[in-house]
Every structure is written in structure tokens, then in C-alpha cells.
């Protein structure tokens, strides 16, 4: 799978030999990623695009690439395109993996290139000229959790849009109601955007330990963020905010039947009758954000950060919150947490009280 012999017959010359070999390399690498490593088609296509970008920049074939070529490309991306470090890494990783594939003895490209061109590919991206992943979070600083007041303002204004449509007797009340409920779900269950728009009505089910929440005591997230080469991760999220449960129940019983398309169980439907897309949610959030005068850097995803922060502030066990949002590591949950000054002061007071109590008990000795 992905070997040179599958794409280039031995001893055969091509009219465009360099181009044919390069295309064979790309096809072989794509097969190795899709078949052997089970990566998503979207990820494979993105990697191939980066390799082609590097080829166009250098004007050279992979068996002639040098570390100097790669360094010049990185300088161009940093100084001319001014890409962020996290974006730079998305350019570097495919080149590293493509060169690793070409240099592997398992696939025969080194021998093929030696026979045809008298030279062979080498690794041009290594630890000395690539961006190290030194921080867990490398997003824009403005992408912070919303405060409780900001969350309330956002949700209230989303509800207000529904009321405005109804009062003016104009179209748009049902989509506005959908959007208002979707924003509540995004925050109240700590979901990623892709997870939220992928929900079906049947993803909610009863929790025997919270019968007062009816059939909305648990939420099954079926399209969680996957690891490289893996299927979407599933998790069950406990419903913790009764007011959000009431909002979803009202939407499902009174609004959803009127917008449902055929036999679809999709919870959020567009005006065209198709499942709502992430872009539509982002646009709706941006309109509300700008109307309220909130920070322009804010997006729907920080509502998930807000959920983590507010649950921690309310005293929930961080390990439980980690399970709720589907983080593999506690450190990831920690970087999402930006506790308020009131909560920080409360912790400081508790720590001081413990310290002062210890000092008093030991007669002034720590």
C-alpha cells in the first residue's frame, strides 16, 4: 500500500517523468494515510494541499528539496503571510510526514528516485526548524470565556429577537426560536459547535437519578471530537441546568414539529429543511454579539469555555467537568478555566483561613 511499485512500472520512462513520479508519490501517500492510518479524507486533502504549496514555492521536486528550501518557506509564511504559530504547525506537519513517508524503506521511493534521477528525498522538516508545541492553548487571547452576565445578555437578546418577530408579525420567529434554544444547549451542556449542530431529538434521554428532568436528563453526544485516525468519540453528558432542559422541552414539543423535514430527527434544521451547519450558528452568534457590543473576538466556542469555568466556580469536581466536556486530559480542562475574581478571592480566603488556623494551633509555628 502506497509503495512506488504500485504507481510506477519498473524500467518505464514517462514523457513528463518528474511530474509522473511526483504524482505517484502524492497518490501513494494519500493511500497510506487513508488506508493504513485511517485518517479522514478532509485531513488527507489538507496535507496534500500543503505539499503542493511547498512544491510551488520551491519550484523543485521532492527528491531535490533541502532544509534550506524549507527554512525559506517558513520565513515567507512568518514574515510575509504573518501566520500564527498554530497555523504554521499545520503547514510543517504535512511536510514532515510526507518526507518521512518518502524516506521509509517500506515504500521504495528512495531506490526509485536513485534509479531515475541519481538522487533521493531527505527529511527537510525536523526539530531544529519546526515550531515546538510549548503551550496547551495557542488560540487568540480574545477567545475567552464569557462572564455570567455576558452569557445572560446573549441568551436574553436571542429570546428578545423571537419576541420582536412575533410582535411585528413578521417571518423569522421559528428560526429565531431555534437559534435561541441552540445557544442555550451549547452553553448548558458545554458542547463544541460541531457536536451541537449534529444533535438529533433522540439524543436526549431520561436519567433515573434525575426523574424531575423527564426525558432530558442526559444527552448522548455521538459526534465528539475524534483522535487522528479514529471514529468520533461518544460521551453522555448529565443535564445540570433545569432552565435549559425546560427550553429544550418547549422547543421540541412546540416548535420542532413545525419545522421538521420529513422523517428527519435532526434537532436543528435550516430554512431549507437541511441540518443546520456550523457556519450558520457562527453567523447568528456574531450578529447577536455585535448588536450587544461584546468583544469582536468572541465566537460560539467560548460558550463551552464558559460552561467549564462556571461549573468549576460552582464547586463541581474538575474530574467530573472533564468527563462532561469530553477532554482526554485534565490539563485541557484546566486551560479552559478562567475563574472570576470573586471565586479567586473565595479560594484565597479559604487558604488564608486554613493557614491562620494552623498558625494559631501551633503557637505561631508553621
Distance CA 119, CA 113 (A): 6
Q: Please check whether residue 52 is in contact with residue 95, taking contact to mean a CB–CB distance below 8 angstroms.
A: no
336 is catalytic: yes
100 is catalytic: no
225 is catalytic: yes
- What are the beta bridge partners of residue 233? 224
Of 116, 178, 304, 305, which is the active-site residue?
304
**CB < 8 Å & 24+ apart, contacts of 52-55:** 52/26, 53/91, 54/91, 54/95, 55/22
Under 8 Å CB-to-CB from 119, ≥6 apart: which residues?
63, 64, 113
Of 116, 157, 192, 310, which is the active-site residue?
192
Q: In b/e form, how buried is each residue of 299-335, taking b as 16+ CB within 10 angstroms?
A: bbbbbbbbbbbbbbbeeeeeeebbebbbbeeeeebee
Of 233, 260, 301, 343, which is the active-site residue?
301
Q: How would DSSP label each residue in 349-361? A: HHHHHHHHHHHHH
327 is catalytic: yes
42 is catalytic: no
User: What values do phi and psi take at 275, rounded to 5?
Assistant: -60, 135
Q: How would DSSP label each residue in 241-282? A: -HHHHHHHHHHHHHTHHHH--TT--BSSB-TTSSBPPHHHHH
Catalytic residue positions?
Answer: 192, 225, 301, 304, 327, 336
Amino acid at each position: 500500500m502506497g509503495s512506488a511499485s504500485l504507481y510506477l512500472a519498473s524500467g518505464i520512462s514517462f514523457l513528463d517523468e518528474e511530474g509522473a513520479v511526483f504524482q505517484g508519490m502524492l497518490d501513494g501517500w494519500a493511500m497510506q494515510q487513508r488506508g493504513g492510518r485511517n485518517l479522514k479524507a478532509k485531513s488527507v486533502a489538507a496535507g496534500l494541499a500543503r505539499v503542493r504549496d511547498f512544491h510551488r514555492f520551491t519550484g523543485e521536486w521532492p527528491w531535490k528539496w533541502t532544509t534550506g528550501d524549507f527554512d525559506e518557506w517558513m520565513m515567507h509564511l512568518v514574515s510575509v503571510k504573518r501566520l500564527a504559530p498554530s497555523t504554521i504547525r499545520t503547514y510543517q506537519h504535512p511536510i514532515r510526514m510526507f518526507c518521512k513517508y518518502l524516506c521509509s524503506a517500506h515504500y521504495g521511493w528512495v531506490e526509485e528516485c536513485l534509479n531515475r534521477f541519481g538522487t533521493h528525498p531527505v527529511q527537510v522538516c525536523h526539530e531544529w526548524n519546526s515550531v515546538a508545541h510549548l503551550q496547551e492553548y495557542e488560540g487568540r487571547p480574545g477567545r475567552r470565556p464569557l462572564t455570567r452576565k455576558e452569557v445572560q445578555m446573549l441568551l436574553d437578546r436571542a429570546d428578545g429577537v423571537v419576541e420582536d418577530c412575533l410582535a411585528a408579525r413578521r417571518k423569522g420567529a421559528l428560526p429565531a426560536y431555534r437559534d435561541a434554544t441552540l445557544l442555550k444547549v451549547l452553553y448548558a451542556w458545554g458542547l463544541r459547535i460541531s457536536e451541537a449542530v449534529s444533535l438529533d431529538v433522540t439524543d436526549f434521554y431520561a436519567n433515573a437519578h434525575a426523574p424531575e428532568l423527564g426525558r432530558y436528563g442526559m444527552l448522548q453526544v455521538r459526534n465528539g471530537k475524534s483522535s487522528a485516525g479514529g471514529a468520533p468519540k461518544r460521551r453522555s453528558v448529565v443535564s445540570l441546568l433545569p432552565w435549559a432542559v425546560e427550553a429544550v422541552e418547549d422547543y421540541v414539543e412546540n416548535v420542532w414539529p413545525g419545522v421538521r423535514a420529513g422523517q428527519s430527527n435532526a434537532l436543528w434544521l435550516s430554512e431549507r429543511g437541511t441540518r443546520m451547519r456550523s457556519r450558520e450558528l457562527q453567523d447568528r452568534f456574531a450578529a447577536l454579539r455585535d448588536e450587544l457590543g461584546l468583544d469582536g473576538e468572541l465566537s460560539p466556542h467560548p460558550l463551552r469555555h464558559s460552561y467549564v469555568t462556571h461549573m468549576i466556580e460552582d464547586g463541581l469536581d474538575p474530574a467530573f467537568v472533564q468527563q462532561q466536556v469530553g477532554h482526554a486530559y485534565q490539563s485541557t480542562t484546566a486551560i479552559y478555566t478562567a475563574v472570576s475574581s470573586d471565586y479567586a478571592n473565595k479560594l484565597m480566603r479559604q487558604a488564608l483561613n486554613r493557614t491562620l488556623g494552623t498558625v494559631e494551633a501551633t503557637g505561631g509555628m508553621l
